Amino acid sequence: MNKIEVITNKCTGCTLCVKSCPYGAISMQQVEHELESGRKIKNLAVIDLGKCTYCGSCVEECKFSAINLEKDKIEISEEMKSYKNIWVFAEQRHGQIAPVVFELIAEGKKLAEKLNVKIAAVLLGHRIKNKVDELISYGAEIVYIVDDPVLEEFLDEPYCEVLSWLIKDEKPEIILMGATNIGRSFASRVATRIYTGLTADCTALEVDLKTRNLLQTRPAFGGNVMATILTPRHRPQMATVRHKVFKPLQKDESRKGEVIEKKYDFTNSKIRTKFLEFIKDTTAKVNLAEADIIVSGGRGVGSAEGFKLIEEFADLIGGAVGASRGAVDSGWIPYSHQVGQTGRTVAPKVYIACGISGQIQHLVGMSSSDIIVAINKDPEAPMMKLATYSIEADMFEILPQLIKIIKQEKGIS
C-alpha cells in the first residue's frame, strides 16, 4: 500500500500543502506540537486518506520536507514485457479517416522510436482497404485491417469486440485514439473489458524508458490544473488524445509499411445495437473540433440574423462557427456549435470571440487556443482581459470592416 504521513516535528502549519492539494484532502487542525528547534506550533496539517490519491503535489510544495510519501514499488512482470508496439486507432467515418489519426501516428512514431518498437494503425470498417496506403504514407509502419460488413457503421459493440480481440492476439504496449465522440465512447468499453487504464483527452504524451510507462498529461478540474497519469501495472496503456495537439507528418507516398489483414468471426457476437440511418449536419461547413480558426458569437450577437455576419466572416477566413451557451440557449444557433463546459472543448490556432463576455464555463472550453481575439463593447469583460488581442468595439461595426479589408486583400469584390 502507498503510505503518506505528516512529520509532526517538521510541520510549521504554513498551509502551503492545503492550497496545493487538488483533492482538498489536507486541512489544518489545531494540534499543538513542537518543532525540532523547540519552537511551539499551534496548527498541524492533517491528510484525509479517504480523499488522498498519493499524487505527491503536497510533497513538492512543502518547504520543510514535512510530508513523507512512500509509493509502492511496481514490479514489471514478464507478462507486461511481452506487450510491444504502439497502435493508433484509425477512426474512419464513411470512408474518411479522421484528421486526428494522422496527428497520432506522428506522435506515436516519436514515442515508438524512443521505445524501439513499431507504430501501427488499426483500421476497422467495410470497403476501406483503399485507406491503407494513406495511413502508410502518413507514417504507419504496420496497418492492421479488419474489413467486414458488420463494421460498416460505427457501433460500440462490434468495434469493442474486434479491437479487444486484436489486443489479446497482438499485445500492443500503447493504444492511442482521438478524443472524438467515437473514440471516447468505445475506448472506455475496450479498457473496461480487458481491464486496463484509460486516460481521457490527453494534451501531452511522453514515455519513461525505464518502466516503459506512458506519461499522459491532461487538463483536470475544468482546465485549471494539469494532471500526469500513468497505467503502471496494466498493458496496453490506453489514451484518448485531443485534436490539434500534435502535428501530422508530411504525407510521403514512398513510405513502406506492412499490411496485416485479419478476419473476425462474428457468429457468436452479441450485437444488440442496430444502425438505422445517418443524417449529415449541413449547418457546419467546418468541423468545430478540427478547425484551425473559430469565429464564435455570444449574447452580444443578439439574434439568429446576427449569426449570419459571424458565418460570413468565418467562411471568408476558412473558420468554423462557435457559440456561447447564452447564444445557443436563446435559440440563435444549434447546440452542435456550443463551446464550453456543456458544449465542446476546442483548441484552434485562433479563436475570435465576438460579443462573448467570457464566463468561466465558456473559458474552460477554449482557453487553450493559441491566439484569442476578443471583440466586445465592454472593455471590462473577462474575455477582453484574457485575449491575446482585444478590441473595444461593436462587432456589427468592426466585422463588416474586417470582411471588407480581407476581401480586398484576397481580391474578392
Partner 1 sequence: MHILVCIKQVPATTSVQIDPKTGTLKREGVESIINPFDEYAIEEGIRLKERVGGKVTVITMGPPQAESALREALSRGCDDAILVSDRSFAGADTWATSYTLAQSAKLLGDVDLIICGKQASDGDTAQVGPGVAEKMDIPHVAYVKKVIDIKPPQSNHQGTINVERMLEDGTDILEMTLPALITVVKEINTPRLPTLKGMMAAKKKQVLKWNKETIAAEEDKIGLKGSPTQVMKIFYPPARQGGERIFGKDVTEMAQKLVEKLHSCGIL
CB nearer to partner 1: give 135 or 384.
384
The one among 40, 270, 331, 380 contacting partner 1 by CB under 8 A = 270
CB nearer to partner 1: give 114 or 349.
349
Burial class (CB in 10 A: 0-12, 13-18, 19+), 343: buried
Amino acid identity, position 303: S
Site string for partner 1, 45-84 (x = CB under 8 A): ----xxxxxxxxx--x------------------------
Residues 169-188, interacting with partner 1 (CB under 8 A) = 180-182, 184-188
The CA-atom distances, in angstroms, between 211 and each of 60, 144, 170, 231, 255 are 22, 27, 20, 11, 31
CB nearer to partner 1: give 9 or 371.
371
Q: Are strands 213-220 and 258-261 parallel, antiparallel or unpaired?
A: unpaired
Cβ of residue 219: shortest distance to partner 1, in angstroms? Answer: 7
Cβ of residue 382: shortest distance to partner 1, in angstroms? Answer: 10
CB nearer to partner 1: give 42 or 51.
51
CB nearer to partner 1: give 68 or 192.
192
Residues 309-368, interacting with partner 1 (CB under 8 A) = 317, 335-336, 338, 341-343, 345, 349-350, 359-361, 364, 367
CB nearer to partner 1: give 304 or 360.
360
R_g over Cα of the chain:
25
The one among 8, 12, 196, 330 contacting partner 1 by CB under 8 A = 196
The one among 29, 82, 221, 407 contacting partner 1 by CB under 8 A = 221
Cβ of residue 15: shortest distance to partner 1, in angstroms? Answer: 10
Residues 94-123, interacting with partner 1 (CB under 8 A) = 94
Burial class (CB in 10 A: 0-12, 13-18, 19+), 112: buried
Residue entry with cell 452479441: 270
d(CA 353, CA 298): 8
Nearest to 182 by CA among 90, 278, 288: 90
d(CA 259, CA 124): 13
Contacts of 366 (CB under 8 A, 6+ apart): 294, 296, 322, 339, 340, 345, 346, 347, 351, 353, 372
Cβ of residue 187: shortest distance to partner 1, in angstroms? Answer: 8
Number of residues that bind partner 1 (CB under 8 A): 116
The one among 2, 77, 82, 303 contacting partner 1 by CB under 8 A = 2
Residues 18-37, interacting with partner 1 (CB under 8 A) = 18-22, 24
Residues 224-253, interacting with partner 1 (CB under 8 A) = 224-234
Q: Is cis: bond before 236, omega within 30 of 0?
A: yes
d(CA 10, CA 43): 12
The one among 37, 75, 78, 276 contacting partner 1 by CB under 8 A = 276
Cβ of residue 255: shortest distance to partner 1, in angstroms? Answer: 28
Residues in the chain: 413
d(CA 381, CA 385): 7
Cβ of residue 269: shortest distance to partner 1, in angstroms? Answer: 12
Select from 13-21, 120-128, 142-150, 253-261 the region that touches partner 1 (CB under 8 A).
13-21
